[in-house]
Chains A and B, each alone.
Chain A
Amino acid sequence: MNATTYAWLVLSIPLAGAAGIALAWRWLPGRTAGWIGSAAIGLAFLNSIGALVMLQDRPAEERHLRSALWDYANTSGIEVQLDIFVDPLAVFMCLVVTGVSFLIHVYSAAYMAGDRGYARYFSYLNFFVFSMLLLVLAGNFILLIVGWAFVGFASYALISFWYRRRTATYAGMKAFVINVVGDVGLVLAAILLQRDTGRLDYPGVFETAPRVFETNEWVIVAVCLLLLLGAFAKSAQIPLHTWLADAMEGPTPVSALIHAATMVTAGVYLIARMHPLFELAPTAADISAAIGALTLVFAASVALVVTDLKRIIAYSTISQIGYMVMGVSIAAYGAGMFHLMTHAFFKALMFMAAGSVIAAMAGSQDIDRMSGLRRAMPFTFAAFLVAALALAAFPGLSGYFSKDEVLAFAAERGGAYWLLYVAGTLAALMTAFYAFRIVFRVFGGEPNAEARELEGGHLHHAEPANPVTGEPEDTDVGYPGPAHHIAEREFPMKAAMGLLAVLSVVAGALQIPGVTHVVEGFLDTTFEDSRFIDTEVSGGLEALALIVGAATGLAGIALAWLLYVRNPGATTRLARRLPRLHGFLAHKWYFDELYDRTIVRPTAALGRFSADVFERVVVGGLVSGTTFAVRAGNSIVRVAQTGLLRNYALLLVTGVTALALYFLVVSR
């Protein structure tokens, strides 16, 4: 079995899982659907490993494999096949996606038990994994767009999973609409590329592009900007980031999978995959890096003040993806992808732990109500602590090495890229701070009521309600189930979280600067045509990055300790003294309000105008005018239908006479 066969299996098994669960859900008792889903992804992961092994067996030059199923379209200059492109980048993404997905499936099998939509959840989740794999393995732009759209749909389906919650459905729609904007960008980019290069498959496009385009020619810059539109919509970068915070309406494992580890990294993958095009259009790459840096700082600043646990982690995700986007935009491909991997580990872990905490709080997500949960939930505390340390880039953990590699590369590029370095460092400080803000708030301090209940062995129960608006709900289908599962009591959750914790700690060893280069070396063959492939970060800059990174991480943790443990209440006093700044941050820099003013309201007004004026007057008038005209004509013609035989005969004779006259005249 060669690598491409494994790749096809990787693609088809999750699809089969999704279809199977969808068709057989009625006959799957208890948690069976969960195990089937997990098994499907587990098999996919094993097949990914098979693909990896078979790929590595080949010599380095032969690691770009294409495999086509059949001709999809072959007309008027467009030749598209249903093909996949298997190379180290694709296999890397497959491994990360299937690996993390598998663990999240196992976690969900326990976490979502009791929900009336259990089987539907796993069907959607499997379908999502299939779509993500399709996106990653696609060998041409058409399949990429297909996978892109499928992923968007799966995200929508899972965000509005508890569909009777109004906030959830709104959030799903918001996510989908913003994603569609990205889709448009992607499609337009594909059209432009096809027009100028005549090809739609990756090898063809990447070969012909340098011949057809000049560096920084406006067409290729436009193409890259359109690709960025798609990437930013998926990866929640400014200005298309507003959907990710609201996407936290979905179940926590969904947030872990889609909005931390996989879907939001699709944009990063896109930029990495399209690196030949981006290197032809350095302007676009620089714009991308700049936006990545801006998002980095913006999201970190918002995470400082928001009080919903999942939303803090969401903004953290946005911020960290800013790192990745920045990384692949400045051609630090290996570093960027490495950070993608480590981020997937510790962010998924963080979300899982958060899920456990929320379950202990009987559904509430407000960190102002949480405190002192460390004794009641020791395992969750340990897991969250590991994740927070990795996020804060504590020296030695995976996040430390990956983040600082990106920043070191920025420093190496020099010149204006030092700005990126500064922004990254500033954000690192804020990141460490808010990561431990959560740790100290939620787990530190005196145990609150729920914690005390849990210490007594009893899980707190509350009336089901919407965590954001407080509206009461029930626990039937369309709402979360009545059972709350915490890690301490569910072995699957513990197993998944434990494994991720271990990975968050040791994965750094894969790419210790100057020592190991596993990830970079593996991905080298994909990026060998890059101009920067041989850019080595000098030892001095590397050391600088590591030291500064360690310093900022520890400083951030220390600052958090100061403000939350030594002087509790200090932050509230700070907020009261700087109300405007606090408001600006708490309202997420007023992006939502801006969009509401400039886009939502004018569109709604246009809709109203169309309905009142255009629809009623023009279209309605046209339609009723037509019927009126027809009726009028009718009444005129009806006069001839008198019922009298002689009238009809007269009309006949008249008609014949007229015809004869006509023919007489014509034949003259």
Chain B
Amino acid sequence: MEAVVFWFAAALAVAGALGIVLQRNPFYSVLALVVHLIALAVLFLLLRAEFLAAAQVIVYAGAVMVLYVFVVAYVGGLEDPLTEPSPALRALAVVFCVALLAELSVAIAGSGLKALDTHGPELEAGFGSPAQIGELFLTRFLIAFELVSLLLLIAAVAAVVLARREPETSSRPQPDRGLARERQVF
């Protein structure tokens, strides 16, 4: 049963990923990303990370993707032209990524971690629950927690700053040209 769900979710995830990369229209790419994220949420559930799965759906698929959709709508979906200035770049990219994949696979398969070949240990009931996550955040990872909140604040400020429209020149007082000329500048 678990294997079926796994393979199904995995296939969906890969399909979503390929969709993102291969779609010409950015809007379709965004939609593919949403599919991918939901598949990943399912995988998280399989791995007994309930809170994370919920967060994935609510935060990622919910909030971040909405942002993406808005921006795509604003910016407009441009089509990527079919001919690249340097097709060699594309080929090289694929080559190296395949190489990367191969290496990672070899690393995983050949690693000495015995535990990789198992399900993992038996877990107690509350593993991955919001209670455990919350407790960990507020005890062992308190500093990370605080820093991350700071980061979010910075991101919020950055968003406001980036999105601000420059005010019209008439609303800002003109610098006094005469005074600037008289002052000695070193």
Inside 8 A of A630's CB, which chain B residues have their CB?
none
CB-CB nearest in chain A for B111: A667
Min CB gap B37→A, angstroms? 23
B90-117 Cβ-contact flags toward A at 8 Å (1 or 0): 0011001101100110110010000000
Once the chains bind, are A664 and B106 in contact (CB under 8 Å)?
A: yes
A646: Cβ under 8 A from any B Cβ? yes
Subset of 16 A-B contacts with CB under 8 Å:
A646-B89, A646-B93, A647-B89, A650-B89, A650-B92, A650-B93, A653-B93, A653-B96, A653-B100, A657-B100, A660-B103, A660-B107, A661-B99, A661-B103, A664-B106, A664-B110
- Please give, as numbers and ranges, the residues of chain A lying within 8 Å of B104 by CB-CB distance: 660
CA distance A654 to B100 in the complex (A): 8
Nearest CB of A to B78, in Å: 17
Interface range for A? 10 to 19
B112's nearest neighbour on chain A, judged by CB, is: A667
Residues of A within 8 A of B (CB): 646-647, 650, 653-654, 656-657, 660-661, 664
Chain B contact residues, majority secondary structure: helix
Q: Let me know if A653 and B97 touch, CB within 8 A.
A: yes
Would B103 and A650 count as touching, CB distance under 8 A?
Answer: no
Set of chain B residues within 8 Å of A664, measured between Cβ atoms: 103, 106-107, 110
Residues in A with CB closer than 8 Å to B96 are 650, 653-654, 657
CB distance from B89 to the nearest CB of A (A): 6
Most A C-beta atoms less than 10 A away, residue of B96, B99, B100: B96
Asked, given contacts A664-B106, A664-B107, whether A657 binds B89 with beta carbons under 8 Å apart, the answer is: no
Nearest Cβ distance between residue B100 and chain A, in whole angstroms? 5
Is the contact region of chain A dominated by helix, strand, or loop, or is it mixed?
helix
Nearest CB in chain B: distance from A428 CB, A: 79
Please indicate the chain B residues that have their CB under 8 angstroms from the CB of A650 in the complex: 89, 92-93, 96
Interface size on B, residues (CB 8 A): 12
How many Å lie between the Cα of A647 and that of B86 in the bound state? 11
Known: A650-B93, A660-B103. 11 other contacts (CB 8 A): A646-B89, A650-B92, A653-B93, A656-B100, A657-B96, A657-B100, A657-B103, A661-B103, A664-B103, A664-B107, A664-B110
Instruction: Report the Cα distance A664→B104, complex, angstroms.
Output: 9
| A664 CB to nearest B CB, Å | 6
- Give Cα A235–Cα B133 distance, bound, in whole angstroms: 95
In the complex the two chains form, is B107's CB within 8 Å of A657's CB? no
When distances are taken between beta carbons in the complex, the residues of chain B under 8 Å from A661 are 99, 103
Closest to B85 in A: A644
Q: Which residue of B has the minimal Cβ distance to A653?
A: B96
Bound together, the chains give a CA A91 to CA B100 distance in angstroms of 91
A662 to chain B, nearest CB (A): 10
Query: Which chain B residues border A656 with CB–CB below 8 Å?
Result: 100
A660 and B100 within 8 A (CB)? yes
CA distance A646 to B84 in the complex (A): 12
Cα distance, A661 to B110, chains bound together (Å): 13
In the bound complex, CA of A664 to CA of B108 (Å)? 10
In the complex, chain A residues whose CB is within 8 Å of the CB of B107: 660, 664
Question: CA separation between A17 and B107, bound complex, in Å?
Answer: 85
Q: Look across to chain B and name the residue whose beta carbon is closest to the beta carbon of A668.
A: B110
Q: How far apart are the CA atoms of A664 and B107 in the complex, in Å?
A: 7
Q: Are B99 and A657 in contact (CB under 8 A)?
A: yes
Q: Which residues of B sit under 8 angstroms from A654, Cβ to Cβ?
A: 96
- Inter-chain contacts of B106 with A (CB < 8 A): 664
Give the docked Cα–Cα distance between A646 and B89 (Å). Answer: 8
CB distance from B184 to the nearest CB of A (A): 36
- Within the assembled complex, what's the spacing in Å between the Cα atoms of A650 and B93? 6
Give the distance to chain A from B79, nearest Cβ to Cβ, in Å.
18
Tell me the minimal C-beta distance from A667 to chain B in angstroms.
9
Residues of chain B contacted by A660 (CB below 8 angstroms): 100, 103-104, 107
Q: Which of chain B's residues 34-77 have a Cβ closer than 8 Å to chain A?
A: none
Residues in chain A near residue B100, CB distance under 8 A: 653, 656-657, 660
- Nearest CB in chain A to that of B100: its residue: A657
CB distance from A418 to the nearest CB of B (A): 86
**In the complex, A586→B86 CA distance in Å?**
91
Within the assembled complex, what's the spacing in Å between the Cα atoms of A653 and B110? 22
Q: Which residue of B lies closest to A659 (CB)?
A: B103
Residues of chain B contacted by A646 (CB below 8 angstroms): 89, 93
